[in-house]
A and B are shown apart, each in its own frame.
Chain A
Amino acid sequence: MSGAEIVRTIFEEFPYALYGSILVGMICAFLGVYIVAKRVVFLGAVMTQVSVMGLALTFLPLFAVPHTLGSLVITLGTVVVISRMLTGKKVPKDAVLGIVFVTSIAARILVLQKAAKVEVAEIENLLRGDILFVTPALFYLMAGAFVAASAAHLLFFKEFTYISFDAETARTQGFNAAGWEIAFYLIAGVVISFATHMVGDIYVFGFLVIPPVAAMLLARRVTRIFVVAVLIGLLAPPVGLFCAFLFDLPSSPAIVGVAAVVLAAAWIVSLVRKR
């Protein structure tokens, strides 16, 4: 296939794959700036795994609800519990996240073992998240989450940044720091839940970490870091999809690979700047 044919194929045959992957790339990159700044990168990995576990659970007769709903309920429930445990002093933060991470993976494996054999392929497909087969319904759900999360963060930018920078002083000024923290994690939970269902855990976790770190290496102002991260989230998915078609590669890893190349380039730029 020529380059022009690939572009035409993507736009004509897989428009939701293109637009969906861009939406997820942008919003995950934006939220990822906070996640990296708060030093809770592992939380991103945990939430994607919890979301996948939520999806897997919906294949059990006892929890037979729509996949997206199951994933959302489990993710948000876990977010509420984790956000309370993360502020406690008895168990270290990373231990809490590690426990939830490994339990989610174990639960997913158990569910797969108990699922009817005919469903295993479908489950694995769903858990992996196949960008090329994003449905219009899932895309519009993700678009709704994108608009809501973006609006919340634009409206409350100063509150979220203040709590992230210095929660203790914000509290002395009457800000409900714990409330804002939970609000942040709930928004992230909704986005991660829908996004994982749509494009898979590797893609989501990759975009929660790689564009923000690349942006931190390139930009020297906080607002520019957000802008550069979102730009990487906007541009890496179409380039990655193009590469996936061109070299016959799986789409999610190809897109994450493109983001990783951008990160490597950002790192080189930052090294050159230092000289």
Chain B
Amino acid sequence: MEPVIRFTNATLGYGHTPILRDLSFDVHEGEYFGLVGPNGAGKTTMVRAILGTLKPLAGTVRVAMPSGATVRFGYVPQRDTVDYVLPYTVGEIVMMGRYRQMGIFHRPGEADRTAVQKSLDHVDIRDLGGMSFRDLSGGQKQRALIARALASEPDVLVLDEPTNGMDLSSRLSILDLIKHLHGNDRLTVIMVSHLLDDVANHVERLAIVEREFFQVGTVAEVLTGANLTTLYGMHVDVRRVDGRMVILAGGDDERR
């Protein structure tokens, strides 16, 4: 099976300074893939390489649909990285997802407005289209940014820390939405997170990202106590409770 994304001995970094070396792995069409690791480990660097905004220092990062067509990414950034000074409405922000299709000099047309409405419906925030983005809750903001990504009609949805800083119910609701987009719409999803619990119980395969420690595989293969203990430099235990994976960190041998 041809991958959508293929890293071949890729070294990533900025200027002449490598951050991640000799990466080789694939992401396939229709897959739900996770990128996990501590803060500052290089996850965002890897996302930039996937999105094509960072060229590898060595090796290759090939991004193409199995048919050979160009991959259209729907990118959902961390919601605190966008500008909150101007009171854009949710509808205006989702419309930004259509700008690539519109092309230069063109104004939004009927098809773009329909696509925006469809995207708002899809993430269940139809009523919020006229509201100011900056007045929304964290979960609603995340849905709006996901709607913008969907409005661009993506082949691959890339989410950077989508549940960071959210309360429990918002977090689960966003994770369910992403699962739905993957399961029902057959979207290829790449989710970046430092929250291991989020990734462990949702993605199919994942990569652990750290400068000197990189592993790729299924959740069961990669999310082991031994790997996570090495990664975080502290004792980490992985258990199953009612069929769900639970990560316990910082315990001692007696507790285990």
Query: Which A positions have Cβ atoms within 8 angstroms of B?
Result: 33, 36-39, 155-156, 158-159, 162, 164-166, 168-175, 216, 220-222, 225
Contacts and interface: CB of A to CB of B under 8 A. Distances in A.
B77 A166 contact: yes
B53 A165 contact: no
30 contacts: A33-B86, A37-B83, A38-B83, A158-B99, A158-B102, A159-B99, A162-B96, A164-B86, A165-B83, A165-B88, A166-B81, A166-B83, A168-B77, A169-B82, A169-B148, A170-B96, A170-B99, A171-B51, A172-B52, A172-B158, A173-B75, A173-B100, A173-B152, A175-B100, A220-B87, A221-B87, A222-B86, A222-B88, A222-B89, A222-B92
B252 to A, nearest CB: 40
B1 interface: no
B53 A172 contact: yes
A190 to B, nearest CB: 21
A169 B77 contact: yes
Contacts of A216: 85-86
Contacts of B89: 221-222
Contact of B81 (A39, A159, A162, A168): A168
B34 to A, nearest CB: 19
B196 interface: no
B86 A169 contact: no
B108 to A, nearest CB: 8
B104 interface: yes
A250 B88 CA distance: 39
Contacts of A169: 75, 77, 82, 96, 148
B32 interface: no
Contacts of B77: 166, 168-169
Given A220-B132, A221-B89, A165 B51 contact: no
B73 interface: yes
Nearest to B85: A37
* A33, A172, A174, A175 pick with most chain B CB within 10 angstroms: A172
B149 to A, nearest CB: 8
* A166, A173, A222 pick with most chain B CB within 10 angstroms: A173
B209 to A, nearest CB: 19
Interface in B71-123: 73, 75, 77, 81-83, 85-89, 92-93, 96, 99-100, 102, 104-105, 107
Nearest first, the 10 closest Cβ-Cβ pairs linking A and B are A172-B75, A173-B100, A37-B85, A172-B51, A166-B82, A37-B86, A165-B83, A222-B86, A171-B53, A169-B75
A38 to B, nearest CB: 8
Interface of B: 51-53, 73, 75, 77, 81-83, 85-89, 92-93, 96, 99-100, 102, 104-105, 107, 132, 148, 152, 158
Contacts of A33: 86
Contact of B83 (A164, A172, A173, A174): A164
Contacts of B93: 165
B4 to A, nearest CB: 15
* B52, B82, B83, B132 pick with most chain A CB within 10 angstroms: B83
Given A39-B85, A171-B51, 19 more contacts: A33-B86, A37-B86, A155-B105, A165-B93, A166-B96, A168-B81, A169-B75, A169-B82, A169-B96, A172-B73, A172-B75, A173-B99, A173-B152, A175-B99, A221-B89, A222-B86, A222-B87, A222-B88, A225-B87
A164 B148 CA distance: 16
A40 to B, nearest CB: 11
A169 B148 CA distance: 10
A86 B12 CA distance: 23
Contacts of B51: 171-172
B96 A165 contact: yes
Contacts of B82: 165-166, 169
* A156, A166, A222 pick with most chain B CB within 10 angstroms: A166
A164 B82 CA distance: 9
Nearest to A36: B85
B74 to A, nearest CB: 9
Nearest to A34: B86
Given A165-B96, A172-B53, A225 B104 contact: no
B86 A165 contact: yes
A205 to B, nearest CB: 19
Given A155-B105, A166-B77, A166-B81, A174 B86 contact: no
A165 B158 CA distance: 19
B55 to A, nearest CB: 13
A158 B98 CA distance: 11
Contacts of A171: 51, 53
Contacts of B88: 165, 222
